[in-house]
A and B are shown apart, each in its own frame.
Chain A
Amino acid sequence: MKTKLLTGMGMALILGACVSMPQPNAALENARIAVQAAEADPNVNKYAALDLDVARKDLSNAENASLHHLDAEIAQSAYLATQNARLAQAHAAAKADDARVAAGQVERDQIMLAARTREADNAKLAAANSKQVADSALSQRDQANEETARVQAELDALKATPTPRGMVLTLGDVLFDTGRAELKSGASRKVDQLAQFLVEHPDRRVQIDGFTDSVGTDSYNEDLSQRRANAVRDALIARGVDSSRIGTEGYGKSYPVATNSDSGGRQLNRRVEVVIGGNNGTPISPRSGF
């Protein structure tokens, strides 16, 4: 304290001699305001505490000089206090902005990462969707294939054989009593299967052709074969098959499948053939040739 006083006196002496100074009280007041403003600035306390210390020390020097009316030192120290306080605020503001940007960059990185993640998720979702579409198409195809396979299996179960006219199911004469056109009870299982197939596949037409052996007159045989075909038709209608889908024809002794010269061959020739049409509902062409 004593040395400071001494110094102050020395300064005052010199300043009086060499420098002319502005009003010291106004300068001191400015310095107080500047230092207070810096002290009130939260950024200064956070980022420029050392600058503020320097400004406070300058202000304290100015206040001391003021106690001793050392005008020149008041003015000098007050000026330095003011400028150091401003310096503290400038440094603090710059650092605060830098810190804000640094923090923002972290946030920006997070946002961009989230955006990239979301894009990846969307891509994954799109891929999953197109896979689903593909799977669905595949499963539709599989279903169609399954359907075809199932129909084939059903036709196989009916012991149908492929011919140019369609799948042909032969009902042997064991289903009818000799000379009679009524289906025997043993026929019902086969007719049930056929009816069920036709009900499940309403787009298919069916042609029922009756045949006999060569025993008896042609007109008798044609009539008998027609009645037998009709008997099968009626049985199908009774089981729910629409009559418009069914065609019938009696061919008599025509189109034998075996010889008529022995009883085994004649039994094979006494038959009803059921031709099952394609799944597009196309009519079945009448029997011709061979």
Chain B
Amino acid sequence: MLMGLSNVAKGASLFTAIALSLGGCATTPISNEQIAVAKSSVQRAEQNGAPELAPVEMSTARQELASAEKAAADHEALSATQWAEKANVDAQLAEATAQERRAHKAATEFDASMATLRQETQRSSQPNQ
């Protein structure tokens, strides 16, 4: 879903570039849309544990989103679009990194529990006498 949005965003960015080459550094609704996409990715990352598990990526994404919003406010449409693209991908990366660390932790704990289980069954399968 996000990937799709990201591709749309890229297509839109080219389109924006063309539009801008004609109109100069004007704010367009397209950059606002990209900022909205990035913002939603940042929020999703924030809700999925990225601030705790991927603080570096999360912080990068937030700064990039802020830069995109500032560029948009300054009517720098291309810059806003590019910052929004970066914020979007870094927010996704923050979320995925958090997910990766959670999965890794779960897998490590699972391995430990399996090792214990194997030891126990090995012990109990041996004769009592």
CA distance A266 to B125 in the complex (A): 82
Between A and B, 6 residue pairs with Cβ closer than 8 Å are A15-B78, A17-B24, A97-B106, A101-B103, A104-B111, A118-B121
Chain A interface size, under 10 / 10 to 19 / 20 to 34 / 35 or more: 35 or more
Q: Which of B7, B25, B111 contacts A54 (CB 8 A)?
A: B7
Instruction: Report the bound CA distance from A15 to B113 in whole Å.
Output: 55
Asked if B25 and A18 make an inter-chain contact with CB atoms under 8 angstroms apart, the answer reads yes
Question: Considering the chains assembled together, what is the distance between the CA atoms of A95 and B118 in angstroms?
Answer: 25
Majority secondary structure, A binding face: helix
Q: Which residues of B contact A100 (CB under 8 A)?
A: 107, 110
Q: Once the chains bind, are B97 and A90 in contact (CB under 8 Å)?
A: yes
Is B100 a contact partner of A80 (Cβ separation < 8 A)?
A: no
8 A-B pairs with least C-beta separation: A10-B21, A97-B103, A90-B96, A97-B107, A94-B103, A94-B100, A83-B89, A11-B17
| B104 touches which of A19, A50, A97 (Cβ 8 Å) | A97
Q: CB-defined interface of B93-107 with A at 8 Å, one 1/0 digit per residue?
A: 100110110111011
Bound-state Cα–Cα, A141 to B25, Å:
109
The residue from A15, A51, A108, A119 contacting B117, defined by CB atoms under 8 A apart: A108
Q: Judging by beta carbons under 8 Å apart, are A14 and B3 in contact?
A: no
Given known contacts A94-B99, A97-B104, A108-B117, is B86 in contact with A80 (CB within 8 Å)? Answer: yes
Q: What residues on A are CB-neighbors of B73 within 8 Å? A: none
Complex interface: chain A residues within 8 A of B111 (CB): 104
**Contacts from A to B (Cβ < 8 Å):** 6-7, 9-11, 13-15, 17-19, 50-51, 54, 58, 76, 79-80, 83-84, 86-87, 90-91, 93-95, 97-98, 100-101, 104-105, 107-108, 111-112, 114-115, 118-119
B115 to chain A, nearest CB (A): 11
- Does B85 lie within 8 Å of A80, measured CB to CB? yes
